[in-house]
Amino acid sequence: GAVVSQHPSRVICKSGTSVKIECRSLDFQATTMFWYRQFPKQSLMLMATSNEGSKATYEQGVEKDKFLINHASLTLSTLTVTSAHPEDSSFYICSARDQSVRGGSFGYTFGSGTRLTVV
């Protein structure tokens, strides 16, 4: 089935630095990518939706200048957390839509997530 490869799985960075998270769709074209954040014991919160070749649409309260999303190709989307601070420590996960899939499988595949710790 469709696979989304997300890297890195875990990253620790110093406060003030930037971190890039990559999501690659393997064997399918990801026309739409969703980016989520999940704090411990809380729900998945949608941060932004990106369509290939277009600017991402950010959810209310998500700073677009802090969370830079690039979806320049059909197989790669990146999320860059700029000037990270300890409060940005969270589980970040992407989900890609496989346009070729129809029916019950829904066509959305998740990456395995990135656990970011900012110290």
Partner 1 sequence: RKEVEQDPGPFNVPEGATVAFNCTYSNSASQSFFWYRQDCRKEPKLLMSVYSSGNEDGRFTAQLNRASQYISLLIRDSKLSDSATYLCVVNHDMRFGAGTRLTVKP
Query: Would you count residue 1 as binding partner 1 (CB under 8 A)?
Result: no
The span from the CA of 103 to the CA of 66, in Å, is 36
By CB under 8 A, what part of segment 20-39 binds partner 1?
A: 34, 36
Q: Which residues contact 94 (CB under 8 A, 6 or more apart)?
A: 4, 6, 21, 23, 33, 34, 35, 36, 77, 79, 110, 111
Interface pattern 41-80 for partner 1 (x via CB under 8 A): -xxx-x--x-------------------------------
Q: Of 64, 83, 106, 117, which one interacts with partner 1 (CB under 8 A)?
A: 106
Q: CB of 40: closest distance to partner 1 in angstroms?
A: 9
Contact between 69 and 52 under an 8 Å Cβ cutoff? The reply is no
- CA-CA distance, 103 to 53, in Å (whole number)? 26
**Site residues, partner 1 (CB under 8 A):** 34, 36, 42-44, 46, 49, 91, 93, 95, 104-106, 108, 110-113, 115
